[in-house]
Structure 1
């Protein structure tokens, strides 16, 4: 994998400001427009993309010649300011209309084509946003009629593009094989990242990458479009696994893509799309990016006259739960605060276990458990007497930060827990003891990894402080602007926190944490006091990974994270071996056809056997092992000396032939 040298990172990414009132509306879900009903148009585009070329001709915005487009350029700019991705989709549709109306002649359509390329690659839109858009940009840009030629087309410019030796790869080393597999993957809808994996990491491609790093000014790809495809696929792999490398590939790709003319870009037919990560928040931006008011205790919290009344239903429901049974008072270092436990869950494979999950917490005396989830989760939760159920229909990994932030904005400390856990003891006394074991109680406590010096955000206690609220807003804003898969949310938190956990007053061994690499630069953020929950025995994770497990006495376990890895299969470019798919049944199936007491004893015995199979000793050994990263090649500072990186690479390729 590839990464830029940290010393020159500032040349690539500017710091992002995190203090704002709304999240960037990339998908135009909330945009109030003078021109289009963007949400309705997006829905139509998603369902009817392949049929939209002609129907969109009726729009007064769409022109058919370069001159007409030029007359409306200010209008196109205005709608781009409203909805970037929607405008790119419309521009691609307009380009297709124009080319179809002019028998695929390029000249009448150059202005709209140049506008489309500029908005995609010259306006600062992250490539990950483009390639994960819910707008069907891949359909809009994949126009087979542009490069499906008959013999009489041999005099056309499209034919010359398809047969330009500077762009194509016949008989040139590894490229014909890559092109064949690309064509097969795209045509058959195969997962490109896995389909091309052996070729992407072949010695030939690795050598080319090393050559580019060693001789950046002189590097000319042997197959221009083949090399772009390789970089896109490698960016896709690192986008799933190693974000730091992804940004390096994005840095390489941008000048290449910006150099292309629209006919070269479309004529290649090489459009790759990444896995789409849904970033619909559920909460409004103002509910997450601003405090709801001074809500210090149950006695002072009132809805009358509060902006809460104007919020989303889920935010109003959360505030009502704070007023009701969703929180309990607890005392740390003489200060009385409000505490809730929060979990989010969706999908029938999980929600069928939700009643047993809630009942287990209640049996330990923990009734201040807020359950956020989809309709199925809400219905399952509501079957349990005394449960606190909240309908949060949006489904994405950002809720591990939206939920605690919404609660902190209401003045509540939130212990956010994953669903794939099992509580053995009431955690509240342990949390109080942990917080009081420091000179100053940390603002954030979270679980860690057993075998390396890394965090694990399956369990995290957020205490409502000004600094932690601002910190979480910055983190959530960064993740929203960079729509990476579920697993990156933990990398992001690790990178934002850094490597300075607060140490206990009397600690036998210091907490050592190594931050994960995330991006070339990170936005400014407040410094917070944070530390770890004991990952050795009290808050461990099952030994599904090389670096997970636990040590000690099972009676000391407070919450056990048995790590159900289904999200890895859905979002990872790599194969996932998740053999323990019966843990939910093991821990939460309390039904019994025979003698209840005997059945319960057998269940407890199976749980103990599972725990002991994941035990790694008597005590967690000291470790300063860094978090797992893929091997990377450095791009040194001299690589960025040239301001014309990638400029004229097609001309260089042609002159080399």
Structure 2
């Protein structure tokens, strides 16, 4: 593992701090052979693989296990595995009534009903079926008693809460995932619990792995990201192009493909603004769904001025790269799909002395943004500018200006390291937390680097968004809009879990008619849903003149209608001071204050025990009658 990607306390003594890390691929093979041996009744060999795999499972942090590309926990989710005879020396956990909490006559929580919610023939949606247990008053008021009563049921709850935190309010993730991790690693039968317990621990851990928003892979090397680059030497006797050629030739073979591409595109940059000779615009793109917008995205950037000649595109698949070579003057950098690219490419540009403007692909340039950005940056002066929310104290890192200073580079590297270590974390949340603004990514205070001088871009009438959900929209004059950010939202879903509500608005509200209205209208093509068209299709699907001339976009009737449909008469202040993003029903600040009195807890507990005892007696009677 790279020293760069260790926690900061380890980086100076990397070798001593993290020697010979377990190979996750080997662990994956051992888990496969463990399962295969059990399926064949080879309990002796299964015991050997159990012991090897258990050592590695204990050695690796849970965050690493869930962020890995290897399907570690998926290998342990088979229902058949529960009923295979355990390995030699392993307890029979499947049939252990104590482990499965079936021995309790008057439990504080209906553990039988809780466990029954995971039966595939009982209910398909286990998440909603278990909410009554996960969010019960017992879990909040008497967690220690529940843990003593049914350890695996309690740890199941911790994992479900960790999943909820990972997809919504990540600052609570460690509180719950940490309890589960400590329990499992302290158990002498860790792998047996995952493989044989009827409590779905491995299923939940596998589901938790799907919340990962990125994997442990970066397109640039550690030296490149740290700024350990060979210098570009300029002299009066050599031209910039010649010096660049010599420098490119000196690059070590160990340099990444992405860095070699970045260096190669620098001579292909077009003329710059006199007041910003080192400024470039960057975005990233991949996938057929978005690659089809590249031609007009690049054309629009050229039509508004110099932006199109200073645009670098991080192309994250082969189709995008080949299109970029044609549509963007060969200013193309190859990479792989990852949200981490929003930090790595600006960081690399900062190391090379380039100021950058990051723009998400789901934006439309109404005019050249450069004058507005430079004026705002000098006003501070500010080294970082980020778009904001119309009616809330929230940032949106879909549009960001970075000045190439040492403080900005160090700050970006710190954000990158945190994101790398927390694969479930949302990039925008991390961005805000490291600006020490309105969002948190940890219950504890972060050890923040020096924060660059920064400000939010004008979200009221310049860098604006559609009125697709609470807190967005704009007000003012059409001719003052600089960039319209569609907030596409599809990248916000957590690994396909479907639990993160931050992206659900697009499925409900993110479409307009072909005429720019908000009501369903005639629409053809695969991009249309229920008679509506996406804002990407609307803004990039008009007559060619809009993308080849400096024509004001609001003169187009469909675009004008879409813009005006999001304009508000006034700016509400009701969201100011409130938390940003989706929140869960758990607040680490107020948890202690919410405790009930001991007398009330005892009364509620007695009632709960009586109710669960009655439920269990009724279930037993029904079973006898059925038999």
Report the TM-score, using the length of structure 1 for normalisation: 0.71
- Between 427-436 and 294-303, the greater mean CA deviation after superposition: 294-303
The 1:180–1:132 alpha-carbon spacing in structure 2 relative to 1, beyond 3 Å, is farther
The 1:184–1:466 alpha-carbon spacing in structure 2 relative to 1, beyond 3 Å, is same
- 1:131 aligned residue (62, 66, 81): 66
- Between 133-142 and 232-241, the greater mean CA deviation after superposition: 133-142
Match in the other structure for 2:382 = 442
Rounded Cα–Cα distance in structure 1 between residues aligned with 2:343 and 2:37: 45
| 2:192 matches 1:263 | yes
- Between 538-547 and 387-396, the greater mean CA deviation after superposition: 387-396
Match in the other structure for 1:355 = 295
Alpha-carbon displacement from aligned partner over 1:485-508 (angstroms, at most 9, x marks no partner): 5xx111111111113xxxxxxxxx
- Between 299-308 and 560-569, the greater mean CA deviation after superposition: 299-308
| 2:129 matches 1:199 | yes
| 2:549 matches 1:587 | no
Alpha-carbon displacement from aligned partner over 1:365-403 (angstroms, at most 9, x marks no partner): 12211122122222333333x534414241011111111
- 1:104 aligned residue (36, 40, 43): 43
Match in the other structure for 1:604 = 556
> Secondary structure, in 3 states, of the residue corresponding to 2:585?
coil
| 2:261 matches 1:288 | no
Q: 1:583 Cα deviation (Å)?
A: 0.5
- Between 90-99 and 225-234, the greater mean CA deviation after superposition: 90-99
Q: 1:636 Cα deviation (Å)?
A: 9.0
Alpha-carbon displacement from aligned partner over 1:215-258 (angstroms, at most 9, x marks no partner): x3x44354433332232222112111111111111122122212
- 1:550 aligned residue (465, 469, 474): 474
Rounded Cα–Cα distance in structure 1 between residues aligned with 2:329 and 2:12: 33
Q: 1:97 Cα deviation (Å)?
A: 6.7
Rounded Cα–Cα distance in structure 1 between residues aligned with 2:440 and 2:262: 33
Match in the other structure for 2:577 = 624
- 2:8 aligned residue (17, 29, 33): 17
Match in the other structure for 2:318 = 375
Alpha-carbon displacement from aligned partner over 1:631-656 (angstroms, at most 9, x marks no partner): 324389999xxxxxxxxxxxxxxxxx
Match in the other structure for 2:520 = none
| 2:175 matches 1:231 | no
The 1:630–1:143 alpha-carbon spacing in structure 2 relative to 1, beyond 3 Å, is closer
> Secondary structure, in 3 states, of the residue corresponding to 1:202?
helix
The 1:549–1:296 alpha-carbon spacing in structure 2 relative to 1, beyond 3 Å, is farther
- 2:488 aligned residue (557, 564, 584): 564
Q: Is the 8 A contact 1:283 1:312 kept in 2?
A: yes
Q: 1:454 Cα deviation (Å)?
A: 1.4
Q: 1:515 Cα deviation (Å)?
A: 3.5
Q: Is the 8 A contact 1:538 1:559 kept in 2?
A: yes
Q: Is the 8 A contact 1:309 1:316 kept in 2?
A: no
Rounded Cα–Cα distance in structure 1 between residues aligned with 2:278 and 2:221: 23
Alpha-carbon displacement from aligned partner over 1:168-205 (angstroms, at most 9, x marks no partner): 155975434443443429x99x7xxxx22323321674
Rounded Cα–Cα distance in structure 2 between residues aligned with 1:143 and 1:572: 22
Alpha-carbon displacement from aligned partner over 1:88-147 (angstroms, at most 9, x marks no partner): 324434545776788436xx87676355334323x3x33232123211212443466653
Extract unaligned runs of 5+ from structure 2. 1-5, 512-533, 594-627
> Secondary structure, in 3 states, of the residue corresponding to 2:434?
helix
Q: 1:83 Cα deviation (Å)?
A: 4.0
Counterparts of 1:456-495 in structure 2 under 5 Å?
Answer: 456-484=396-424, 488-495=426-433
Counterparts of 1:377-392 in structure 2 under 5 Å?
Answer: 377-384=320-327, 387-392=329-334
Report the TM-score, using the length of structure 2 for normalisation: 0.74
Rounded Cα–Cα distance in structure 2 between residues aligned with 1:541 and 1:18: 41
Match in the other structure for 1:141 = 76
- 1:113 aligned residue (20, 30, 50): 50
Q: 1:340 Cα deviation (Å)?
A: 0.4
Rounded Cα–Cα distance in structure 2 between residues aligned with 1:383 and 1:155: 59
Q: Is the 8 A contact 1:169 1:179 kept in 2?
A: no
- Between 410-419 and 611-620, the greater mean CA deviation after superposition: 611-620
Rounded Cα–Cα distance in structure 1 between residues aligned with 2:86 and 2:21: 41
The 1:221–1:303 alpha-carbon spacing in structure 2 relative to 1, beyond 3 Å, is farther
Rounded Cα–Cα distance in structure 2 between residues aligned with 1:291 and 1:154: 52
Counterparts of 1:401-440 in structure 2 under 5 Å?
Answer: 401-438=343-380
Counterparts of 1:626-641 in structure 2 under 5 Å?
Answer: 626-628=579-581, 629-634=583-588
- Between 619-628 and 277-286, the greater mean CA deviation after superposition: 619-628
Q: Is the 8 A contact 1:288 1:405 kept in 2?
A: yes
Q: 1:337 Cα deviation (Å)?
A: 4.4
Counterparts of 1:29-48 in structure 2 under 5 Å?
Answer: none
The 1:526–1:258 alpha-carbon spacing in structure 2 relative to 1, beyond 3 Å, is same
Rounded Cα–Cα distance in structure 2 between residues aligned with 1:103 and 1:584: 57
Aligned-residue Cα RMSD (Å) equals 3.9
Match in the other structure for 2:278 = 338
> Secondary structure, in 3 states, of the residue corresponding to 2:284?
strand
Q: Is the 8 A contact 1:291 1:410 kept in 2?
A: no
Query: Larger relative CO (CA 8 A, sep 6+): 1 or 2?
Result: 1
Q: 1:354 Cα deviation (Å)?
A: 1.1
The 1:161–1:253 alpha-carbon spacing in structure 2 relative to 1, beyond 3 Å, is same
Q: 1:405 Cα deviation (Å)?
A: 1.0
- 2:99 aligned residue (164, 167, 190): 167
Q: Is the 8 A contact 1:422 1:560 kept in 2?
A: yes
Q: 1:592 Cα deviation (Å)?
A: 7.5
Q: Is the 8 A contact 1:231 1:249 kept in 2?
A: yes
Rounded Cα–Cα distance in structure 2 between residues aligned with 1:405 and 1:359: 26
- 1:314 aligned residue (247, 258, 269): 258
The 1:103–1:470 alpha-carbon spacing in structure 2 relative to 1, beyond 3 Å, is same
Match in the other structure for 1:66 = none
Rounded Cα–Cα distance in structure 2 between residues aligned with 1:204 and 1:88: 31
Rounded Cα–Cα distance in structure 1 between residues aligned with 2:554 and 2:38: 71
- 2:246 aligned residue (304, 311, 314): 304
Rounded Cα–Cα distance in structure 1 between residues aligned with 2:14 and 2:429: 21
Rounded Cα–Cα distance in structure 2 between residues aligned with 1:425 and 1:110: 67
Match in the other structure for 2:566 = 614
Match in the other structure for 2:172 = 245
Q: 1:619 Cα deviation (Å)?
A: 5.6
- 2:268 aligned residue (309, 319, 324): 324
Q: 1:411 Cα deviation (Å)?
A: 1.2
Q: Is the 8 A contact 1:539 1:558 kept in 2?
A: yes
